[in-house]
Amino acid sequence: MKNGSENNLIRFTKISKSKQGLFANFKAKGIKGGTAFTASITVDLAAAEVDPGDSLEKIIEECARMAERDIKKSDLQFEGLTSI
């Protein structure tokens, strides 16, 4: 873990089922440079190429790997702000 001012954590919460399929749900929480944030992350098990019959550890690991890769590549922007 980093120092007390930068402690970022992503935690697995549950597997959920909907009409669209099965999803692994994660909760992200952290503080960085005076900004506190929380976020929900949902990963489609089919997109992560895991089978619902696989062990829970494998499902969590593969979905977390996919979420980490995709979140790092994302370029988030504030809605409504054109320039700062």
Strands (E), 1-84: 9-18, 21-32, 35-44
**Is 79 among the domain residues?**
no
Alpha-carbon Rg of the chain, whole angstroms?
15
Domain holding 67, by residue range, is 9-73
Domain count, the chain: 1
Question: Encoding tokens for residue 43?
Answer: 């990963």
Residue scoring higher pLDDT (33 or 42): 42
**Is 44 among the domain residues?**
yes
Beta carbons within 10 angstroms of residue 65's beta carbon? 12
**Is 2 among the domain residues?**
no
**Is 78 among the domain residues?**
no
Q: Please give the model's pTM, rounded to 2 decimal places.
A: 0.78
Q: In whole angstroms, how far apart are CA 38 and each of 3, 5, 45, 46?
A: 18, 15, 22, 25
Average pLDDT, the chain: 86
**Is 41 among the domain residues?**
yes
Report the pLDDT value the prediction gives residue 80, as an integer from 0 to 100: 79
Report the pLDDT value the prediction gives residue 12, as an integer from 0 to 100: 95
**Is 48 among the domain residues?**
yes
Report the pLDDT value the prediction gives residue 79, as an integer from 0 to 100: 82
The angle at the Cα of 69, spanning 66 to 74, to the nearest 5 degrees, equals: 120
Counting residues of the chain whose pLDDT is more than 70, the rounded percentage is: 89
